């Protein structure tokens, strides 16, 4: 396994059931669309989302929203530092700002987010960040799936955008050229 993934894997192993994981909408929606929402429960146990994210992921008609509404492992928690979230909204959208704020408030072990600006801001604030691809990689390393490529192909077919370079590098690191 490549060094960068070994390091990430060691950091994430704290993310086993019992750790505090806050999510933005993107990872939840992406996995719900391809019927892999259970990865989050199996990998982390409980996922916490702020109200703005809950609204984004449960909007009627949004692909996967019915699965999210039935997912008992996703919990909504109130975010208290509204001014901080308002400041973050200058740089990222409402859900991302609230997810980052909530992650800081509850001292989350991991923030799940895909948006580049949100990930960058969260990392600058000292948060450990994972995106959809990292969740899929972790699912493979933990034995939930034998191959990541079919899952990633489903993601792409569902409208999830991944650059060819990132996709190629991701599959190469997983030994799936």
The pair of structure tokens assigned to 71 is: 């997912």
What 3-state class would DSSP assign to 27?
helix
Give residue-wise pLDDT tens across range 120-142. Answer: 999 999 999 999 999 999 999 99
* 102 vs 106: CA distance, rounded Å: 6
Q: What is the pLDDT of residue 60?
A: 72
Higher pLDDT, residue 136 or 61: 136
Residue 130 DSSP class: E
With a cut of 90, say whether residue 75 has pLDDT above it. Answer: yes
> Tokens at residue 109, please?
């072990």
**What range defines the domain where residue 29 resides?**
3-173
- Asked whether the predicted pLDDT for residue 5 surpasses 60, the reply is no
CATH value at residue 25: 3.40.50.1010
In the chain, the N- to C-terminal Cα span, in Å, equals 14
pLDDT tier for residue 16 given thresholds of 50, 70 and 90: low
Residues near 105 by beta carbon (within 8 Å), at least 6 away in sequence: 79, 80, 81
Q: What whole-number distance in Å separates Cα of residue 150 and Cα of residue 152?
A: 5
> What are residue 74's phi and psi, to 5 degrees?
-95, 120
Domain count of the fold of the chain: 1
Using one digit for the tens of pLDDT, what is the confidence trace for 22-42? 999 999 999 999 999 999 999
Instruction: Give the per-residue pLDDT at 112.
Output: 97
* pLDDT exceeds cutoff 80 at 3: no
* Full 3-state SS string of 144-157: CCCCCHHHHHHHHH
Tokens representing residue 147 in the block: 């191959």
Element (H, E) at 61: none
Q: What is the pLDDT of residue 80?
A: 92
The answer to whether the beta carbons of residues 128 and 111 sit under 8 Å apart is: yes
pLDDT at 17: 56
């Amino acid at each position: 396994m490549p060094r960068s993934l070994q390091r990430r894997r060691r950091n994430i192993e704290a993310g086993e059931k019992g750790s505090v994981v806050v999510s933005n909408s993107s990872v939840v929606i992406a996995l719900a669309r391809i019927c892999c929402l259970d990865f989050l429960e199996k990998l982390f146990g409980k996922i916490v989302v702020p109200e703005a994210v809950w609204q984004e992921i449960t909007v009627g008609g949004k692909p996967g929203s019915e699965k999210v509404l039935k997912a008992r492992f996703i919990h909504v928690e109130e975010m208290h530092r509204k001014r901080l979230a308002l400041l973050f909204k200058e740089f990222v959208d409402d859900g991302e700002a609230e997810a980052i704020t909530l992650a800081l408030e509850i001292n989350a072990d991991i923030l799940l987010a895909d948006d580049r600006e949100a990930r960058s801001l969260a990392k600058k604030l000292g948060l450990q960040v994972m995106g959809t691809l990292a969740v899929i990689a972790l699912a493979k390393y933990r034995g939930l799936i034998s191959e990541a490529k079919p899952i990633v192909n489903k993601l792409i077919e569902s409208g999830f955008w991944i650059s060819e370079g990132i996709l190629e590098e991701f599959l190469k690191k997983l030994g799936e050229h």
